[in-house]
Structure 1
Amino acid sequence: MRFDTRHRLYGHTIAEHIKTVAEELPIDAVGLWQIVPAGRYGFDLSGGELAEFVQRCVTALLERGAKPVMGGGGTKYDWILQPQYGETNEEVANAVLREWLDAGARDTDPGGLWFALLSPHVGTPE
């Protein structure tokens, strides 16, 4: 994957995009549904390059302190922590990528996996 490849609409590079994705965390959670289409349609990536892009975005989020979460609808939390992905950043990134690839490497929907900083808005599964 070439990190200097530019986004079709916005003109920023892949390297800049990965950094920007992680910088969103103090403002809002970042969903896998946002990452995959950015790589696929924004940077025209497919196959192994798209998988590498997804993994690098997820890793950047984890390195900034994000944890895998899902929406907390019906609970007192906005987000529910998803500990089944592992404990270390490497375990989580690999598990997320494996799950996405096993599901056919499709675009995901907003009801799926997100990454959020831990806060009072994030609860643990019951």
Structure 2
Amino acid sequence: MLSLGPYKFSPTSLRCYKEQRWHAVECIGQILLQNIGSGVEHIDLEGVIYPQLHFNDLINMRESWVNQTHHILIDTLGIILGHFVITHIEEKQRFFLVCQEFNLSLKRYILKRMRF
């Protein structure tokens, strides 16, 4: 089970990746690469929501995607994985079963720190 804010679902597959950013610099006829830091963390997952527990979660997830709301991602053990925003959501209907299957793409959201 995973929890993305108020939405609880069972992931069937999960892919997490983070890119390194490189900038090409021309130097005496050669192209050199300079590391300019790490990029954004991405999570792509497939999951299932069982309507007996959370009937409108997929509809509410779509609204959260439209409103560009960030949520905390928490695993079953209660470990906080960070703040994430939904960048892509896709619903799958197979055999028109009662459970709602979906694909979800998330990106890490960095909260701005307030300075006083």
TM range (shorter): under 0.3
* TM-score, length basis structure 2: 0.27
Per residue, is there more strand in 1 or in 2? 2
User: If you compute each CA radius of gyration, which structure gives the higher value, 1 or 2?
Assistant: 2
* TM-score, length basis structure 1: 0.25
Per residue, is there more helix in 1 or in 2? 1
Higher relative contact order (CA 8 A, sep 6+): 1
